[in-house]
Structure 1
Amino acid sequence: MPHTTQIFQVSTLYGAATLAAALDAGLFGPRGEARRILLVSNNAAVPETALRLDEMHGYARIAGRFDSVVSWNEAIRPYHPSSWGPRGNDTVIWQRAFRLAWGIGERDRIDLAVESIQVSPGRALAAIFSEAAVHVYADGLMSYGPTRNRLPLTIGWRIRRLLHLDLIPGLTPLLLSEFGVQPEVVPDAAFRRVLDEISEDAAGDPRLAPVLAQKPTAVLLGQYLAAIDILSADEEEDLHVRMLTGAARAGHRSVVFKPHPTAPASYSAALSKAAAEAGVRLTVLDAPLLAETLYHHARPELVVGCFSTAMVTASAYYGVPVGRVGTALVMNRLKPYANSNRVPLAVVDHLVPDLERDGTPAVLGAAPASLPPLVRAIGFCMQPETYRSLREPTVAWLHEHLADSPPHYFPELRLAELGLPGSRPQARARVRVRRARRVVRRAMRRGGARK
């Protein structure tokens, strides 16, 4: 008799925690009704030198919710998880190979749960297991933005639901809505219990003790935006210093900086100098711990960041006031306009007080009425072909609100490219010149190819 096997693909501990909460809440049925495989993917640029998921606190307890754990990196070696996908004619062969390697019967039904269907490994898995129902889970602010890559209909129509954390109550994810995919919330209580499990498992970590001894009242979150070519290293270093200055201006004298795992050591050195000048006691938590583990143990009174999801979880799950620094700068630097970080930036920019403009740190509540139409308008401008139905609402919104919106939300050139309200004749002329140049370049390339 055929059985059901559920394959859960994960690459981060935060994502694994989201899946664990969904399982605990019964969103994938009762335990024992299907066989559950945890498929771990290490998507780091050099996986062999990066921290493995199984080395992080709390992983073992999360893995215990599954019947078996397998490595995607090992399964497709020597290919890289972020760049490999099967050729169209090879999908049947790969499926047979994986069913054999993972002990899945030839006739067993397969359900997939992947963290991002837009890119590999999620997209590769959906192509290989072409009959499987697909469930997408999102663990951050990007779920509120549009689908960044156009999906084949053969995949899009198989997506049953989008599981997401209710980080901003009242704001509905735009992700995958073009396929009519219904978003489903992973219950807050279940997710918080999993975060507590992870935090309790990390309680004895010696790297946490020096931080707690300093009794920090503010947490600064680094994101390492230089790694994805949004800011230069010097600009990001300055952004961290600005975070510290904002915390100091808000009255905090003991601060902990949690750098991105791949950030260079020089960032901490620059912060130390700035802290000494400001009379602030700085501690750096250079350990592979979730920011939420720090919140659990340190109980800070303020979290400062640029647009990290960990800012919003601090507010949503721990009741910590948050403040932002540098969102306008980063949004101005995003290229192309469709960069998937744009909506998270806009959400934080719209909701979180700006510490550099004397904003008072605050605990976030439900989405104000102004946020959903703003996000939909930005989403349309990012992916106009995918979300054509949003054009008329976007035009109406721009007519009514553009004059009052920060200029970094809707650059004039982007509005001109899409023929939307708010662009002057000069901008529209620049767009026409650009298009003409592209046509000439394409024609020249074709002419050269014929020779």
Structure 2
Amino acid sequence: MDPRTRKPVQIFQVSTLYGAATVAAALDAGQFGAREDARRLLLVSNNAEIPETALRLEEMTGYDRIATRFDGTIDWNDAIRPHHPGTWAPRPEETPLWQRVFRTAWDLGDGPVELVVESIQVNPAKALAAVFAESSVEVYADGLMSYGPTRDELPQSIGCRVRRLLHLDLVPGLRPLLLAETGVEPELVPDDAFRGVLTEIAEAADGDRLVAEAVAAAPTALLLGQYLAALGILTADEEEELHVRMVRGAAAAGHRSVVFKPHPTAPVRYSLALRDAAETAGVRLTVLDGPLLAETFYERCRPRLVVGCFSTAMLTAAVYYGVPVARVGTGTILERLTPYENSNRVPLTVVDHLVPDLETGAAPAVPGPTPETLAPLVRAVGYCMQPKLHPRLREETAALLTDRLGEESTARYFDRERLGRLGLPGGDAPRPASRLRRGLVRSRA
């Protein structure tokens, strides 16, 4: 019998190089056992709105280094073509058929399959969990979203199979809310293992022309773009202005040479607007728009400042490289972010609460010990986002709101209409239509 029919197969689903680096670090730290104990496959998905026009993960500098840890790779987009990875899922009655198809196509044999996925509450991870219905599921968190609640309630058939949540210690001491409702225990990916993988990825950039040009400019600050317009949070013009504010803020802080790292899907016009702003401010601007992680630049150039809105790369700079960070525009995003349960809310809250505001003149800093105020705030925001998933947090949330909602530093994180609908302190009275709906629900009950 083929030994692969007896040997477990571990399928690691990734869509970003940062996520792949997290998985690689966990593997290096032995968190998935010895390599010879299982056949390891890397399943790559391109979740961009139009995958055919987006940068492929395989094109990112350093991907080849990550891929050596696996016995093979699978292209999920090809496997389900012409469907989109973000929307395709098999019908329940078809899952056994799809499992047979994938076992044959990927040469899995008939042995056990273990899934390691990101964002289990959405496709493609959710689709994989449905297809391999008997498989154990382990989740790794790609950045700051691990500290927020699960986006949607998981089907019991999936939730009961999740064994653990692997995450980076981006905010030391802060416990993730993600999957907490399932009782799953979070497990840290060791800092030294993750930093080692980032160093390995940076080494792959040896000889890269864009990196060499950026280093030659002797920049002291790195500005991070996120392309929030793609998420509908800002308009393209507003995001362009946000990046211009980063340039002005860096210039006001005394930096004369800066690098801008745009989001891979950002339009070219962003760079053009920044060049005009940099020229006006008397700042030398270098645009680092290659297929690179921002962390590769940290390794190569060691900037004295990293500026962003609420990018995970800001906390990576502070925690793993000791680089001071500053934020721009979080107040605007807090006002704009809808719906309240938007998964970006907790990353935004964390950065807004921990990182100095560059435009107020606050000195950029490496956040020190996590303040005692952060964990209760994150739990309260998380409860207001997903109250059905975390009913035990209601009393704690009500107490925090009673004590601190009068403070501007707390009120900015809560929506009074949302608080009113939840019957929490500080909430606006429900609108007449809302009261009518609630009355109808009670009468039907």
Q: TM-score normalised to the size of structure 1?
A: 0.94
Supply the distance in 2 between the matched residues of 1:46 and 1:290 (Cα, whole angstroms).
21
Q: Are 1:428 and 2:432 an aligned pair? A: no
Instruction: Name the CA shift for 1:75/1:272 in 2 (closer, same or farther; >3 Å).
Output: same
Instruction: Name the CA shift for 1:81/1:439 in 2 (closer, same or farther; >3 Å).
Output: farther
Unmatched segments (≥5 aa) in structure 1: 441-451
Supply the distance in 2 between the matched residues of 1:282 and 1:3 (Cα, whole angstroms).
53
SS at match of 1:207: helix
Tell me the residue number matched to 1:128: 131
Q: State whether residues 264 and 291 of structure 2, in contact with CA within 8 Å, keep that contact through their aligned partners in structure 1.
A: yes
Q: Are 1:153 and 2:149 an aligned pair? A: no
Q: Are 1:58 and 2:59 an aligned pair? A: no
Q: Are 1:22 and 2:23 an aligned pair? A: no
Q: State whether residues 168 and 365 of structure 1, in contact with CA within 8 Å, keep that contact through their aligned partners in structure 2.
A: no
Q: Are 1:83 and 2:87 an aligned pair? A: yes
Q: State whether residues 39 and 71 of structure 1, in contact with CA within 8 Å, keep that contact through their aligned partners in structure 2.
A: yes
Correspondence 1:273-288 to 2 at 5 A: 273-288=276-291
Q: From 228, 233, 244, give the equivalent of 2:231.
A: 228
SS at match of 2:102: helix
Supply the distance in 2 between the matched residues of 1:235 and 1:438 (Cα, whole angstroms).
38
Tell me the CA shift for residue 294 of structure 1: 0.9
Supply the distance in 2 between the matched residues of 1:205 and 1:187 (Cα, whole angstroms).
29
Q: From 412, 434, 444, give the equivalent of 2:416.
A: 412
Supply the distance in 2 between the matched residues of 1:238 and 1:48 (Cα, whole angstroms).
29
Identity of counterpart residues, as a percentage?
A: 65
Tell me the CA shift for residue 437 of structure 1: 7.6
Q: Which amino acid aligns with 2:154?
A: L
Tell me the CA shift for residue 320 of structure 1: 0.3
Supply the distance in 2 between the matched residues of 1:222 and 1:438 (Cα, whole angstroms).
43
Q: From 295, 300, 303, give the equivalent of 1:300.
A: 303
Unmatched segments (≥5 aa) in structure 2: 441-445
Tell me the residue number matched to 2:50: 46
Supply the distance in 2 between the matched residues of 1:151 and 1:429 (Cα, whole angstroms).
29
Supply the distance in 2 between the matched residues of 1:76 and 1:277 (Cα, whole angstroms).
49
SS at match of 2:331: helix
Tell me the residue number matched to 1:219: 222
Tell me the CA shift for residue 65 of structure 1: 0.5
Q: Which amino acid aligns with 1:150?
A: E
Q: TM-score normalised to the size of structure 2?
A: 0.95
Supply the distance in 2 between the matched residues of 1:293 and 1:221 (Cα, whole angstroms).
13
Q: Which amino acid aligns with 2:145?
A: M
Q: Which amino acid aligns with 2:429?
A: R
Tell me the CA shift for residue 16 of structure 1: 0.6
Tell me the residue number matched to 1:373: 376
Tell me the CA shift for residue 19 of structure 1: 0.5
SS at match of 1:372: helix
Tell me the residue number matched to 1:448: none
SS at match of 1:244: helix
Q: Deviations over 1:363-409 (max 9, x none)?
A: 12332111000000000000011111110110111111111234320
Q: State whether residues 9 and 40 of structure 1, in contact with CA within 8 Å, keep that contact through their aligned partners in structure 2.
A: yes
Supply the distance in 1 between the matched residues of 2:60 and 2:359 (Cα, whole angstroms).
35
Supply the distance in 2 between the matched residues of 1:96 and 1:435 (Cα, whole angstroms).
51
Tell me the residue number matched to 1:332: 335
Q: Which amino acid aligns with 1:49?
A: T
* RMSD value, Cα: 1.4
Supply the distance in 1 between the matched residues of 2:325 and 2:106 (Cα, whole angstroms).
44
Q: Deviations over 1:267-293 (max 9, x none)?
A: 111111111111111111111100000
Q: Are 1:260 and 2:263 an aligned pair? A: yes
Tell me the CA shift for residue 246 of structure 1: 1.2
Tell me the residue number matched to 2:210: 207
Q: From 96, 117, 123, give the equivalent of 1:114.
A: 117
Q: Deviations over 1:198-257 (max 9, x none)?
A: 101012111222211111000010111111110111111111111111111111010111
